[in-house]
Each structure stands twice: as structure tokens, then as C-alpha cells.
Amino acid sequence: GQNIDQPTEMTATEGAIVQINCTYQTSGFNGLFWYQQHAGEAPTFLSYNVLDGLEEKGRFSSFLSRSKGYSYLLLKELQMKDSASYLCAVRDSNYQLIWGAGTKLIIKP
């Protein structure tokens, strides 16, 4: 079966750095996505990785290792508005998106 694993919940302090991990087992790989979802809102796109390595976009970075079936989302200089759920999704060989259950990130002052 296909599986995406992420921690259920994480807590971090405002101004700090947090790393959210995602491991996957899918039939084929055609890219990995990270989305942010605030409570009661729709998910919004954060990043896309298809090749190994680090993609940096402002305070957010995403890393991919295809051989390990592993990705992480790195959030720097945390702000209270970063409190949200972070969803990891992998597109499989059928180009279908497989979603993780999401990681709820709680930011404390």
C-alpha cells in the first residue's frame, strides 16, 4: 500500500526554527509537495521537490531524498501566523496525489 507519515503535532517557539519530517512509500514518484493549511481554510501551496536536494523560498525550505523516501520542511524565524497544519503529498506513478494526515504546528510566544 501507499503511505505518507508525518508527526501529528509539533510545538515550537516564536523566532525559532522547526523541521517537519515526511517519509513516504509510494508506487512510483513524480514529485513531492508541501502545503500549509490554517484552521478552517483551504490548503495553500508552499513548495515542490522532484529532484534531491534543498529548495529555499524565503523563510521556508524543503528538502528531498528520493533514495530514502524522505523529505522535510524547514521553517525559520517562526512567527505566530505560522501556526497551521502542514501537509506533505507525493504524486505517484499514476500522477495521483497521495496525502499525509498533516502535522499541526503550534507556535508559542
Partner 1 sequence: KAGVTQTPRYLIKTRGQQVTLSCSPISGHRSVSWYQQTPGQGLQFLFEYFSETQRNKGNFPGRFSGRQFSNSRSEMNVSTLELGDSALYLCASSPGRRQGSNGRALYEQYFGPGTRLTVT
Q: Does 109 engage in binding with partner 1 (CB under 8 A)?
A: no
Among 62, 102, 105, 107, binds partner 1 (CB under 8 A): 102
Residue numbers 24-63 binding partner 1 by CB under 8 A: 30-31, 33, 41-45, 48, 50
Q: What is the DSSP string of 12-53?
A: EETTS-EEEEEEEE-SS-S-EEEEEE-TTS--EEEEEE-SSE
Q: How close are the terminal C-alpha atoms of the chain, in Å?
A: 40
- The distance of closest approach from Cβ of residue 16 to partner 1 in the complex, given in angstroms and rounded to an integer, is 26
What is the identity of the amino acid at 94? N
Interface residues with partner 1 (CB under 8 A) are: 30-31, 33, 41-45, 48, 50, 87, 89, 91, 94-102
